[in-house]
Amino acid sequence: MTRFAAPISEQIWDMKYRLKDADGTPVDRTVEDSWRRIARALAETEKEPELWEQRFYEALEDFKYLPAGRITAGAGTGRSVTLFNCFVMGTIPDSMAGIFDMLKEAALTMQQGGGIGYDFSTIRPRGADVLGVAADASGPLSFMDVWDAMCRTIMSAGSRRGAMMATMRCDHPDIEDFITAKSDSARLRMFNLSVLITDDFMDAVKADGPWELKFGDKVYHTLQARDLWNKIMQSTYDFAEPGVIFIDRINKANNLSYCETIAATNPCGEQPLPPYGACLLGSVNLARLVADPFGDDAKLDQDQLDDLVRIAVRMMDNVVDTSQFPLHEQAQEAQNKRRIGLGVTGLADALLMVGLRYGSDEAAHQAEDWLRQIARSAYLASVDLAREKGAFPLFDADKFLASGTMLQMDHDVRAAIAEHGIRNALLTSIAPTGTISLYAGNVSSGIEPVFAYAYTRKVLQKDGSRTEEEVVDYAVQMWRDKFGDKDLPDYFVNAQTLAPLDHVKMQAAAQKWVDSSISKTINCPEDISFEDFKDVYIEAYETGCKGCTTYRPNDVTGSVLSVSEVSEKAPEADTGADVIYMAEPLDRPQALDGHTYKLKWPDSEHAIYLTINDILIGGHRRPFEVFINSKNMEHYAWTLALTRMISAVFRRGGDVSFVVEELKAVFDPRGGAWMQGKYIPSILAAIGGVIEQHLIRIGFIEGEGMGLKSDPKSEVVAIGEAPRGKPCPSCGQFDLRMVEGCMTCMSCGHSKCG
């Protein structure tokens, strides 16, 4: 019998986490092999590795403990990869040389994957004097554009990387431009943006007082605090960005406030980190720990929870010593503080199983109790590790126990830390779990409510035929297994029907016992008034949240899949077959039609020849493979790599026009060239232009700079409405939704944040 609760779970494992050889041959034959691989790798640092390997395996078994995706995919593979998900980079110096040193570090980090966060408040504002060169500064946003291009360039090299987070203080002179930067949909696409909100600023907003925008000792502008707040709110209302981070609260609560200052977070906001800080994530699956679900005696098994948390802390602590790091500074930071981020997933499902309505006062109290138990178990486990292996190197008992978080901790935990120290400076965080939640049987994600009880996704097979597959929420499936077709109780609620302030209530309840932060999206109805929308943020601040991220569907942000108590089935919409979505790549036919194009790059001795072959499906041509040839041997390696990667993308199907977009965005720091009256920023951009002309020629796209002519799966969005927003870049379906601060596809699990 398979361990997977749903077909999509096995697909996610095979696609993202299963160890395979370079040619795609599976090394992990079963998911049990994956669990064994991870357990063995993380037990290698132990004095009794065989004992701990078995304990670790038992924690992983049946998806009870879910390490973050990078650990699940990378541990025990023998590959030189980082097991840390995200990084906050070093403080950006206010100098040209320092800025580009930081850009280089970011590129090196992103090459190994994962997201990065930066505070751009340290760069002088636009128009400020630049001493010694008789010029005005271009400002932080101009350098953010450079970072954005760097990220796009690395992505164009063939692999999707994590997102980037940019933060800026609310008193920086360029804050107004920062707030509205993403109103231009083509700008800063690789970034999430968040404003660092101080307590002084919130006091000024409440008092409708003045607010100074300054850099260094110079005040550049004074405006009303409430006007600036309204500008932040309006942009978020319209474009879902920027987010809001209550930075003073984060620093006051930080266990390490005595030795670090935080000014940025990882891309989804659950890990506020110091310069060169890294986030190491994992989640306890609460949905697997409920005894007698939906029964009279339904309850969370506290003993099992305690044991699982203690094992998870030990596993995560071992990752610090096992992982590679892109930069020496990141390794040093991790070793000195041994920060981990243990969180939960399946919270909403667990609440349903014990008969509680997500968002109710009772559910908030229950969630707070569960997270308090997790915090207690995690801190006591870390104390035990300190007794066995030593406290983290920068531990100072008096200062640590005087921090904001530790002052509310239970007396016995404080006493244990005072006596024995603690192995990990921070222990808890609630991270985005969209993909690993699907892998674990489609449990509810993180602390989010259930998004949809069930929906239908269409999967195209190798022969081009379609199969339908129902994806059911884990708790709903358990209800069906126990009660058949009996109607769901009225305490079943979902993200679309839940009042925004109920979202805030659950986030605030969880935050009390989370020493880092929480990645959560507060879903707001499209017709929410602007005043009510602003109240969501004020409530988040007043109730102790460390940040706030909302999502209001509209013509700019996109709509979301409709939700009902039965499976939502998308209409057939078979009115076009030029877009094909495949679970597996198509086999190559014996013969294909195609065209060969000659590309002569100025100042290059040899021309490049591109052959693009097409396949005919449903009477429509679509690109199938690319061959790039040149007599210039300097081009051999990268043209071969590009050939293989683009062909692999084409054979997976879906909207592959993004290949053109990404190639055309690549710039060469040595300079581009003028071709046929246009400036082309690089030879890769020129190749992208040739592919684009071919797609126009075969009718796959309508014209230059345009996407697909039509999408036969567009009606998978809210039935009866025109599709809004963008299709998933992985599978092409219009199933993107904002989960835990990150755009996530319901159909394939693709996440912008990795």
- State the catalytic residues: 266, 268, 270
Pairwise CA distance, residues 308 & 284, whole Å: 8
Helix (H, G, I), strand (E, B) or coil at 647: helix
Pairwise CA distance, residues 594 & 623, whole Å: 9
Helix (H, G, I), strand (E, B) or coil at 736: strand
Q: Which pair of tokens denotes residue 17? A: 């986490």
Contacts of 609 (CB under 8 A, 6+ apart): 596, 597, 598, 599, 628, 629, 630
Can you give the length of the chain in residues?
Answer: 754
Pairwise CA distance, residues 41 & 629, whole Å: 42
Q: What is the dihedral of CA 77, 81, 86, 92, to 10 degrees?
A: 170
Closest listed residue to residue 279, CA positions, set 115, 152, 127, 157: 115
Pairwise CA distance, residues 520 & 504, whole Å: 9
Amino acid at 117: G
Closest listed residue to residue 700, CA positions, set 659, 728, 643: 659
Pairwise CA distance, residues 174 & 638, whole Å: 40
Q: What is the DSSP string of 347-377?
A: HHHHHHHTT--TTSHHHHHHHHHHHHHHHHH
Torsion sign, CA atoms 572, 577, 580, 583: positive
Number of C-beta neighbours around residue 74 at 10 A: 28
Helix (H, G, I), strand (E, B) or coil at 415: helix
Decide: 457 and 444 in contact? Cβ < 8 Å.
no
Pairwise CA distance, residues 55 & 315, whole Å: 10
Cα 237 to the center of its chain, rounded Å: 21
Pairing of strands 522-523, 547-548: unpaired
Q: Which pair of tokens denotes residue 467? A: 């199969």
Peptide bond into 274 cis (omega under 30): no
Burial (CB count <10 Å: 0-12, 13-18, 19+), residue 161: buried
Pairwise CA distance, residues 664 & 449, whole Å: 40
Pairwise CA distance, residues 384 & 395, whole Å: 15
Helix or strand holding residue 460 (H, E): strand 454-460
